[in-house]
Amino acid sequence: MNIGIFDSGLGGLLITKSMIKKLPQYNYVYLGDTKRVPYGNRSAETIYEFLKDSVEYLLKQNCKLVIVACNTASAQALRKIQQDFLPSNYPDRKVLGVIIPACEVALENKQAKNIGVLATVATVASNAFVIELKKIKPNTKVLQKAAPLLVPFVENDELGFINPILENYLKSFKGKIDTLILGCTHFPMLQYRIQKIIGPEVRIISQNKLIPKKLKTYLNNHPEIEKVLSKEGIYKLNVTDLTDTISKTVTKWFGQNIKVVQIDL
Ligand code: DGL
């Protein structure tokens, strides 16, 4: 069986690439909902509807485990998938998100007290990061900033114009945080620029580094899941809309000439 990775667009390819680097033996099926990206400014109902379609597609592709790499979907719709959809439709499968692991890693450092979260409008509105951080360490101070303009720039690979926008988004964090969570699949592409603006003293938490490590631990702790995973190192990339720009971006980010297939949900 396969490991599925879902994102609203192409940003999740960054996590997929790190996942394949750390755990190359497994078979991965990636799904980017490029037809409907961005999710970040949509309602909870729409995000749930979109996520359910995509998760169902991945489960039909024989995925034992689906990682919802998209923070917006993890924040707004994952719980409903886990509590309502899975038990009655696919009780033997797992769907996991990326918010709790990022919060755990942010608070691993005992000095971490003031956490910044940079994310989409929907993720910020859900308060999911605030809730999860405070569950782990109740006196944590959390400062959130919605950054809706960044995803289209990253998705279109137009980073030349992004610095003034980033500076504007990051100014409310300056001098106020010790840790910054990049709460969106696309932001690891901007990590270097963000670090330069926010300063070297702020620890940046990037999911594309931590999720593969967490998955390894998860599989060690769940041998019943690990043992049914196929180990042929087959990687499949699917999108719901395919254009020349998407093909070029996938090749550039993925670092190899991997085939991208357009599928219907
Ligand atoms: N993938 C989304 C996330 O991680 C960002 C893109 C979108 O708005 O759909 O939050």
Q: Which of 20, 55, 70, 98 is catalytic?
A: 70
For residue 190, is pLDDT > 90? yes
Q: What confidence score (pLDDT) does residue 238 get?
A: 97
Q: What confidence score (pLDDT) does residue 71 get?
A: 97
Would residue 103 show up in a list of annotated catalytic residues for this protein? no
Separation CA 121–CA 140 (nearest Å): 21
For residue 109, is pLDDT > 80? yes
Q: Choose which residue among 10, 37, 98, 149 to substitute to test ligand 1 binding: the one with the highest number of ligand atoms within 8 A of its C-beta.
A: 37
Domains defined along the chain, listed by start: 2-97+209-262 (3.40.50.1860), 100-207 (3.40.50.1860)
- 162: amino acid identity, one letter: I
Confidence of residue 50 (pLDDT cuts 50, 70, 90): very high
CA-closest residue to ligand 1 atom 8: 40
Confidence of residue 83 (pLDDT cuts 50, 70, 90): very high
CB 116 within 8 A of CB 106: no
Average pLDDT, the chain: 95
Model confidence, pTM: 0.95
Q: What confidence score (pLDDT) does residue 81 get?
A: 98
Q: What confidence score (pLDDT) does residue 253 get?
A: 84
- 232: amino acid identity, one letter: E
Considering the chain, what percentage of its residues have pLDDT values greater than 70?
99
For residue 32, is pLDDT > 90? yes
Confidence of residue 126 (pLDDT cuts 50, 70, 90): very high
Q: What confidence score (pLDDT) does residue 158 get?
A: 86
Confidence of residue 249 (pLDDT cuts 50, 70, 90): confident
Q: What confidence score (pLDDT) does residue 252 get?
A: 85
Q: What confidence score (pLDDT) does residue 161 get?
A: 86
Confidence of residue 254 (pLDDT cuts 50, 70, 90): confident
Would residue 184 show up in a list of annotated catalytic residues for this protein? yes
Rounded to the nearest whole angstrom, what is the distance from the C-alpha of residue 221 to the centroid of ligand 1? 29
Q: What confidence score (pLDDT) does residue 156 get?
A: 83
Considering the chain, what percentage of its residues have pLDDT values greater than 90?
89
Q: What confidence score (pLDDT) does residue 184 get?
A: 96
